[in-house]
Chain A
Amino acid sequence: PTEPFALIICINPRLMRHLFVVIDCSRSMEDQDLKPNRLTSTLKLMEAFIDGYFDQNPISQVGIITTKNKRAEKLTDLAGNPKKHIAMLKKAVDTVCVGEPSLYNSLKLAIQTLKHMPGHTSREILIILSSLTTCDPANIYEMTKTLKSLNVRVSIIGLSAEVRVCTVLTRETGGSYHVILDESHFKELLMLHVKPPPTSSSSECSLIRMGFPQHTIGSLADQDAKPAFSMSHLDSSSGPSLGGYFCPQCHSNYTELPVECKVCGLTLVSAPHLARSFHHLFPLDAFIESPVEEHQRNGYDFCQACQGELKDKSIFTCPSCRSVFCVECDLFIHDSLHCCPSCIHSQTAS
Chain B
Amino acid sequence: MKLNIEGLLVYFPYDYIYPEQYSYMLELKRTLDAKGHGVLEMPSGTGKTISLLSLIVAYQRAFPLDVTKLIYCSRTVPEIEKVVEELRKLMEFYAKETGERNNFLALALSSRKNLCIHPEVSSLRFGKEVDGKCHSLTASYIRAQRHVNPNQPVCRFYEEFDAVGRQVPLPAGIYNLDDLKDFGRRKGWCPYYLARYAILHANIVVYSYHYLLDPKIADLVSKELAKKSVVVFDEAHNIDNVCIDSMSVNITRRTLDRCQNNVDTLQNTIQKIKETDAAKLREEYRRLVEGLKEANVARETDIYLSNPVLPDEILKEAVPGTIRTAEHFVGFLRRFLEYLKSRLRVHHVVQESAPQFLKDIFDKVCIDRKPLRFCAERLQSLLRTLEIADIADFSAVTLISNFATLVSTYSQGFTIIIEPFEDRTPTIANPVLHFSCMDPSIAIKPVFQRFQSVIITSGTLSPLDIYPRILDFRPVTMASFTMTLARTCLCPLIVGRGNDQVALSSKFETREDFAVIRNYGNLLLEMSAVVPDGIVAFFTSYVYMENIVASWYEQGILENIQRNKLIFIETQDAAETSMALEKYQEACENGRGAILLSVARGKVSEGIDFVHHFGRAVIMFGVPYVYTQSRILKARLEYLRDQFQIRENDFLTFDAMRHAAQCVGRAIRGKTDYGLMIFADKRYARADKRGKLPRWIQEHINDGSLNLTVDETVQLSKHFLRQMAQPFRQEDQLGLSLLTLEQLESEEMLQKITQIAHQT
Chain A residues engaging chain B, CB cutoff 8 angstroms: 27-28, 33, 100, 103, 132-136, 139-141, 158, 160-166, 178-181
Q: With A33-B718, A133-B565, A181-B723 in contact, do A161 and B592 touch (Cβ < 8 Å)? A: no
Task: Say yes or no: B725 contacts A132, CB within 8 Å.
Answer: no
Q: Please determine whether A181 and B532 come into contact, CB atoms closer than 8 angstroms.
A: no
Closest 3 pairs between A and B when the two form their complex, measured CB to CB: A165-B591, A179-B725, A164-B613
Known interface pairs A100-B563, A179-B726; A161-B530 also in contact (CB < 8 Å) = yes
In the complex, the answer to whether B725 meets A136 with C-beta atoms within 8 Å is: no
Please give the distance in Å from A190's CB to the nearest CB on chain B.
Answer: 16
Within the complex, the shortest CB–CB distance from A104 to chain B, in Å, comes to 9
Task: Find chain A residues with CB under 8 A from B721 CB.
Answer: 160-162
Which among A33, A103, A181 is the interface contact of B591 at CB below 8 angstroms? A103
Shortest CB-to-CB span from A249 to chain B, Å, is 48
Residues of A near B724 (CB, < 8 A) are: 161-162
Q: Mark B725-738, 1 if CB is under 8 A from A, else 0.
A: 11100000000000
B529 on the interface (CB 8 Å rule)?
yes
Chain A CB within 8 A of B496 CB: no
Are A132 and B531 in contact (CB-based, < 8 A)? yes
User: B563 near A158 (CB under 8 angstroms)?
Assistant: no
Residues of A contacting B592 in the complex (Cβ-Cβ under 8 angstroms): 133-136
Interface status of B630 (Cβ within 8 A of chain A): no
* Interface check B593, CB cutoff 8 A: yes
The winner among A103, A135, A160, A164 for most chain B CB atoms within 10 A is: A164
B590 CB within 8 Å of chain A: yes
Q: How far is the CB of A77 from chain B (nearest CB, A)?
A: 27
Chain B interface residues (CB < 8 Å from chain A):
529-533, 563-565, 588-593, 612-613, 616, 718, 721-727
On whether the beta carbons of B593 and A133 are closer than 8 Å, the reply is yes
A183 to chain B, nearest CB (A): 12
Residues of A within 8 A of B529 (CB): 28, 132
Contact assessment for A165 and B723 in the assembled complex, using a CB-CB cutoff below 8 Å:
no
Instruction: Give CA–CA (A28, B565) in the complex, Å.
Output: 13
Known contacts: A132-B529, A179-B726. The answer to whether A160 contacts B612 by CB under 8 A is no
In the assembled complex, which residues on chain A have CB atoms less than 8 Å from the CB atom of B612? 164
Partner of B726, one of A135, A141, A163, A181: A181
Given contacts A160-B530, A161-B532, contact A133 B591 (CB under 8 A): yes
B725 touches A158 (CB 8 A): yes
Interchain CB contact under 8 A, A132 and B530: yes
Query: Are A132 and B593 touching (Cβ within 8 A)?
Result: yes
B722 touches A164 (CB 8 A): no
Given contact pairs A132-B564, A140-B590, A164 touches B533 in the complex (Cβ within 8 A): yes
Q: How far is the CA of A139 from the CA of B587 in the complex (A)?
A: 11
Give 9 CB contacts A-B under 8 Å.
A132-B531, A132-B532, A132-B533, A133-B564, A133-B591, A161-B724, A163-B591, A166-B591, A178-B726
Given contacts A33-B718, A181-B726, contact A165 B589 (CB under 8 A): yes
Contact B589 A181 (CB under 8 A): no
Beyond A28-B529, A132-B531, A158-B725, whether A164 also contacts B588 by CB under 8 A is yes
For B593, the closest partner residue in chain A by CB is: A133
Q: Determine if A180 and B613 form an interchain contact, defined as CB atoms under 8 angstroms apart.
A: no
> What are the residues of chain B within 8 A of A141 when measuring CB–CB?
590
Q: In the complex, which residue of chain B has the Cβ closest to the Cβ of A182? A: B722
With both beta carbons as reference points, the residue of chain A lying nearest to B589 in the complex is identified as: A164
**CA A103 – CA B591 in complex, angstroms?**
9
With contacts A100-B563, A132-B532 known, is A160 near B722, CB below 8 A?
yes
Are the CB atoms of A165 and B590 closer together than 8 Å?
yes
Q: Given that A100-B563, A132-B532 are known contacts, is A161 also in contact with B722, CB under 8 Å in the complex?
A: yes
Q: Which residues in A have their C-beta under 8 angstroms from that of B564?
A: 132-133
Asked whether A162 and B593 contact (CB < 8 A) given A132-B530, A132-B564, the answer is no
Output the nearest chain B residue to A165 by Cβ-Cβ distance: B591
Note all chain B residues with C-beta closer than 8 A to A181.
Answer: 722-723, 726
Instruction: State in angstroms the CA–CA spacing of A44 and B641 once bound together.
Output: 68
Residues of B close to A133: CB separation below 8 A: 564-565, 591-593
A27 to B593, CA, bound (A): 16
Q: Please pick, from B533, B563, B722, B727, the residue contacting A163 in the complex, using a CB distance under 8 A.
A: B533
User: For the complex, what is the distance from the CA of A172 to the CA of B670, rounded to whole Å?
Assistant: 24
Closest residue on chain A to residue B564 by CB atoms: A133
The interface residues of chain B lying within 8 Å CB-to-CB of A139 are 590
Partner of A160, one of B532, B591, B613, B727: B532
Q: In whole Å, how far is B613's beta carbon from the nearest beta carbon of chain A?
A: 4
A161-B591 contact in complex given A132-B530, A132-B564, C-beta closer than 8 Å: no
Q: How far is the CB of B615 from chain A (nearest CB, A)?
A: 11
In Å, the complex CA distance between A166 and B722 comes to 15
Q: What's the least CB distance linking A278 to chain B, in Å?
A: 31
- Nearest chain-A residue to B724 (Cβ)? A162
Distance of A303 from chain B, by nearest CB (Å): 41
Could you say which residues of chain B place their CB within 8 Å of the CB of A100? 563
Which residues of chain A come closer than 8 Å to B530, judged between CB atoms? 132, 160-161
> Which residues of chain B come closer than 8 Å to A28, judged between CB atoms?
529
* 7 more A-B residue pairs beyond the given contacts A139-B590, A162-B721, with a C-beta to C-beta distance below 8 A: A28-B529, A133-B564, A133-B592, A135-B592, A161-B530, A164-B588, A164-B612
**A33–B717 CA distance with the chains assembled, in angstroms:** 13
CB distance from B51 to the nearest CB of A (A): 30
CB distance from B707 to the nearest CB of A (A): 23
Task: Tell me, in angstroms, the Cα distance from A139 to B593 when the chains sit together.
Answer: 14
What residues on A are CB-neighbors of B589 within 8 Å? 164-165
Q: How far is the CB of A265 from chain B (nearest CB, A)?
A: 40
